[in-house]
Amino acid sequence: MNILDKIVIDKRKEVDLKKQLIPIEVFENTPFFNHKTISLSKKLRSSNTGIIAEFKRKSPSKSVINNTASVKDVAIGYELAGVCGMSVLTDEIYFGGTLDDLITAREHCNLPLLRKEFIIDEYQILEAKAFGADAILLIAAILTRAEIKQFSELAKSLKLDVLLEVHNEAELQKSIMPSLDLLGVNNRNLKTFEVSLETSKSLSKLIPDDFVKVSESGISSIEAIKELKPYGYQGFLIGENFMKTDNPGASATEFIKSLL
């Protein structure tokens, strides 16, 4: 069994348990549920840097990345740096994140917020909205086409943007549909953790122009971004490169300065 299979098994248990504890009516009555969302795709279309900066404490591939940074400081720092959006990991077991991180980020910045989660159930999409998200991630490797359609249509009805993540051509072909806003190519294979920017380069030509193209993972230099831009990428999702430093916000500031 690969790590992705394990994550999905644990996620199923977690969601089934939560469903028994918190009914969706609770989400529908939260202040953020009817809040106007900020579109990540629109922001990326009009940006010349396109950085989506992530809050990530640990990961299965790297174990601890940053145990001390506060989500409040990082959200404020990322916004000051001029990033286009912030991605907040909410998976606890494998990434050390929580839904509280998402709401804390919401309270301290006006950036479009992506809930970074292994979504396998509609419940998590309602939850994302209730905790202040503007966009959700759907991972093609763990969903059928029917699920991608059902989940993305629900997200759209809640005015959430949808970032669909693929890692190869088959995942991309099975996923293309009008209810998606952003198409992300993960340079990291979630089953083996191998990272290569070539994945973004080779899949770019297969992504229709109506989607905002995002290159995800393993981006640690300005050169990488300059290399990827000619392939049509308008979004660059960066986690570790900022989070591994003492001051992720300041690192993002430096990065963006040298990009402009």
* Residues tagged active-site: 54, 56, 116, 165, 186, 216-217
Binding mask 79-118 for ligand IGP (x = CB under 6 A): -------------------------------------x--
Query: Residue from 119, 240, 249, 252 that binds ligand IGP (CB under 6 A)?
Result: 240
| Site membership for ligand IGP, residue 165 (CB under 6 A) | yes
| Site membership for ligand IGP, residue 56 (CB under 6 A) | yes
Among 60, 64, 116, 50, which Cα is nearest to 255's?
Answer: 50
Residue pair 191/3 in contact (Cβ under 8 Å)? The answer is: yes
Cα-trace Rg, the chain: 17
Query: Residue from 128, 219, 228, 252 that binds ligand IGP (CB under 6 A)?
Result: 219
Q: Kindly indicate which of the ranges 13-21, 67-75, 201-209, 232-240 contains the residues binding ligand IGP, using the contact rule CB under 6 A.
A: 232-240
| Site membership for ligand IGP, residue 143 (CB under 6 A) | no
| Site membership for ligand IGP, residue 163 (CB under 6 A) | no
- Per-residue DSSP letter, 214: E
Nearest residue to ligand IGP, by Cβ distance, number only: 239
Q: Which long-range contacts link 190-195 to residues 24+ away (Cβ below 8 Å)? A: 190/3, 190/4, 190/139, 190/141, 191/2, 191/3, 191/4, 191/141, 192/2, 193/3, 193/60, 193/61
Query: Residue from 44, 54, 99, 199 that binds ligand IGP (CB under 6 A)?
Result: 54
Residue pair 124/15 in contact (Cβ under 8 Å)? The answer is: yes
Binding mask 177-196 for ligand IGP (x = CB under 6 A): ---------x----------
Q: Kindly indicate which of the ranges 36-44, 125-133, 166-174, 216-224 contains the residues binding ligand IGP, using the contact rule CB under 6 A.
A: 216-224
Give 113's Cβ-side CA count (13 Å radius): 31
3-class DSSP state for residue 115?
Answer: strand
Alpha carbons 16 and 253: distance in angstroms, whole number? 40
Q: Kindly indicate which of the ranges 26-34, 77-85, 223-231, 233-241 contains the residues binding ligand IGP, using the contact rule CB under 6 A.
A: 233-241
**Applying CB under 6 A, what is the total number of residues that bind ligand IGP?**
15
| Site membership for ligand IGP, residue 124 (CB under 6 A) | no
Alpha carbons 116 and 161: distance in angstroms, whole number? 13
Among 201, 205, 166, which Cα is nearest to 182's?
Answer: 166
Minimum separation from the CB atom of position 25 to ligand IGP (A): 29
**With respect to ligand IGP, which residue has the nearer C-beta, 27 or 236?**
236
What is the contact surface with ligand IGP in residues (CB under 6 A)?
Answer: 54, 56, 116, 139, 165, 186, 216-219, 237-241
